[in-house]
């Protein structure tokens, strides 16, 4: 059985000063670097939206960030413009030791659909390819860290568990957005899905 550390969306826009800042998002960088140094394999994910992405509130007349709308694939929270491809905001936090990464997986690059999870886009059907990568490398167990705990970390960890991959979330090395109780909800959903919370 092989194991990997997966670092979710540790990007400038999710850190203080960024477009969709997660409180304390930058506080976890040093701890994640230390974990990466000891990890057997490291995967990074990178939120990577085209300008004008359909998850941006700016694309919906009369809508504001954090409102929820119905998309063809289900409910979608609207966000400020963030992690636009090639922008500084989409770059990894400058202190993150990205050289340790063996794979950088980009997600959210289709204009019409968001992708919180590293495994499936928000229709919960369209694969990103990560499952195949892990399976062909024999990686059957994952530790999750990064941002945001209640969105991309939670959706990724739940999908991993659903796929039969052992999933553990190191909660001290995550930070959440916490919109309308979303952190408590995400923790409960992950537990129910069989994710280990450490």
Residue 152 is a catalytic residue: yes
CB nearer to ligand VGL: pick between 37 and 64: 64
Alpha-carbon span 141 to 164, nearest angstrom? 9
Name the residue with the smallest CB distance to Zn ion: 47
CB nearer to Zn ion: pick between 139 and 147: 147
Q: How many residues does the chain have?
A: 198
Site for ligand VGL (CB under 6 A): which residue of 48, 56, 79, 92? Answer: 79
DSSP 116-160: -SSSB-TTS-SB-SHHHHHHHHTEEEEEEEEE-IIIIIHHHHHHH
Q: CB-based burial of residue 143 (10 Å sphere; 0-12 exposed, 13-18 middle, 19+ buried)?
A: buried
SS3 18: coil
Site for ligand VGL (CB under 6 A): which residue of 4, 19, 28, 47? Answer: 47
Q: Which does residue 9 touch among ligand VGL, Zn ion, none (CB within 5 to 8 A, set by kind)?
A: ligand VGL
Interface positions, 83-142, toward ligand VGL (CB under 6 A)? 116
**CB burial string 174-198: b at 16+ within 10 A, e below:** bbbbbeeebbeebbebbeeeebeee
Window contacting ligand VGL (CB under 6 A); options: 36-44, 57-65, 91-99, 144-152: 144-152
Pattern 123-142, binding to Zn ion, x per CB under 5 A?
A: --------------------
Which residue, among 5, 1, 7, 3, has the nearest Cα to 175 in the 3D structure? 7
Q: Which parts of this chain interact with ligand VGL (CB under 6 A)?
A: 9, 14, 47, 79, 116, 147-148, 151-152
Q: Which parts of this chain interact with Zn ion (CB under 5 A)?
A: 47, 108
Catalytic residue annotation: 9, 107, 152
């Amino acid at each position: 059985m092989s194991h990997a550390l997966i670092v979710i969306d540790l990007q400038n826009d999710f850190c203080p000063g960024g477009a969709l800042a997660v409180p304390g998002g930058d506080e976890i960088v040093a701890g994640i670097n230390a974990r990466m140094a000891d990890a057997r394999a490291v995967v990074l994910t990178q939120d990577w939206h085209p300008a004008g992405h359909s998850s941006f509130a700016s694309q919906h007349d009369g809508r504001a960030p954090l409102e929820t709308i119905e998309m063809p694939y289900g409910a979608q929270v609207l966000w400020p413009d963030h992690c636009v491809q090639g922008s500084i905001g989409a770059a990894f936090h400058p202190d993150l030791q990205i050289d340790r990464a063996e794979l950088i997986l980009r997600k959210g690059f289709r204009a019409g659909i968001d992708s919180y999870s590293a495994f499936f886009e928000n229709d919960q059907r369209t694969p990103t390819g990560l499952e195949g990568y892990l399976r062909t490398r024999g990686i059957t167990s994952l530790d999750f860290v990064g941002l945001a705990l209640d969105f991309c970390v939670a959706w990724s960890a739940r999908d991993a568990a659903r796929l039969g991959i052992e999933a553990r979330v190191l909660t001290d090395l995550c930070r959440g957005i916490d919109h309308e109780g979303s952190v408590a909800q995400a923790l409960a959903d992950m537990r129910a899905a069989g994710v280990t919370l450490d």
